[in-house]
Every structure is written in C-alpha cells, then in structure tokens.
Amino acid sequence: MKAKWLDNLIPLHSRYLGIQYAGWKPTKFADENLGCILYSDVYVPMPDGVRLSADIYTPKKKGKYPSIVQFSAYNRDLHTVGMPTGTNEIGSPPNFTNRGYNVVVLTARGVGRSEGELRYWQCDEEVDDHFHAIQWVSEQSWCDGQIVLFGSSYYGMSQVNVAAKEPPALKAFFANEVCTDYFRHVFHYAGLSANSFMSLWAGSNFTEKKYQTVYCSLETGFIEPFHQSFLDFKAWPYFYQSYLSQFERSLCGKRSPAVL
C-alpha cells in the first residue's frame, strides 16, 4: 500500500494536555506547586559501615511520596553550581518535588564526600551499594515505599545493573543516554585510549590529592592502578560480560518497566 502524504505528518500540539498519538491523553498532575526543601550531605549507611553522601530533595508539604533515586560516580556538586542544562544529567529536582516526588542523589564510594574507596565503575560492590540505597530510601518516613530511577549517562547506566537485581521497592527506571559497552564507548575509541575523557572526569570529581591517587601523579607521571586497569585491557572482560548480561536481564525482567 502506498503511503499518502497525510500519513507522514506529525500533528502539532500547543499543549501537552491536548490530544496525543493513538488517542492517549495524560491525566492531570496528581500534585502541583508543592515546593522544594533540600537536605544536603545526608549520609546513607551501607551494611559494612561505609556511608554514602547524598542530597535529598523533598516537597515542602509534609507527607509520604514516591522517591526518585539517582546514583553516580560524579561529584553531585556539579549539578548545583549553574551548569548548562545540556550537561545536567539529573534533571531538575525542584520540578520533581513540585509534582509530588522526593529526589535522592547519591555519590559512589570514594567520590565527593562519600566514604570508602573507589573501585571499578559499576563493580559488584557499587551495584550492591545502589541496591541498599534503594532499600534505605524506601524505608524513610518521607517515602511511600515506591522507588523509581532516573538520569542520563552514568546516572542512566547505573540503573541497568541494579535493576537486574530486582530491588523489592523498585517500580520502574528511566535510563537515558546509556552505552552497552564501557570499553569501546567510554574508555577506548577505535582501540585508542580515551585519556582526555578520563582526565576530564577525574579532574572534575576530585581534589588534586585525590586525583593523584585515582588517575596519575602530577609530579612523577606514575599511573595509578584504577586508571592502569583501563589502559591495559584488564577491565575489558569485566565490563563486557557483566554489564551486557545485566543489561539483558534488566530488559527481559518482569518486575520493573524500563524506558531507555
């Protein structure tokens, strides 16, 4: 059947509450204009005693609300200093709280003000921390027990691994701008090490002293084990086999709907 030109038109809408595709209409917002309160540097305990630093945003109106949990190996202070919208990977917490959601933004071990030592990105320990953080949030007095995940880039990729573990409180996850192959998509392009990216990431997340313990010594040029593991391919089997299998499990699971 030959398509008519009218079939190729995308109807214009002046407002989101107008007629949508397939006749679907979004319901009216359950809550609006609830305001926002920020509780900064709240420490979330892990089973082994290490505490992860988090910023918690809640509506001003007291109550129990579903919570958006965001987990990353980035210094979350980057999102509160007026960075360009295009590089903000967590969205706008005040917009979420206005509509009746809590937002909890956590940083991984060894990053920012979180305790512990930084290891491989998305290693088993980090994924377990994410799992326990979801459980902790769901049990707080300001949460109704329902958790969703949201975010771009690392905030998106971290969702895939933890969703595969099927946390009981997790209802859905929305992972934007995720990759399926850390080695080729992040650390190596066409087989060449992406040193510029690693240097940018380390420089924007750590003090000079911490930078030298994670990336390399600025004085001697000695490359630390964390960075060396990506240069000499040691991390390749782990990232490919572990992350890809978790990616498939997350998409094939029955418990948590996903939007990628």
Q: Distance between CA atoms of 147 and 140, rounded to whole angstroms?
A: 12
Residue, of 191 and 237, whose pLDDT is higher: 191
Segment 157-182, tens digit of pLDDT:
888 888 888 899 999 888 887 776 66
pLDDT in tens, 66-89: 999 999 887 777 666 666 655 677
Q: Is the pLDDT of residue 25 over 80?
A: no
Specify the pLDDT at position 84. 61
pTM assigned to the model: 0.73
Choose from 18-32, 75-89, 214-228, 239-253 the range with maximum mean pLDDT: 75-89
Does 60 have pLDDT greater than 90?
A: yes
**Matching CATH number, 26-180+246-259, of 3.20.20.220, 3.90.550.10, 3.40.50.1820, 1.10.3720.10:** 3.40.50.1820
Percent of the chain at pLDDT > 70 equals 53
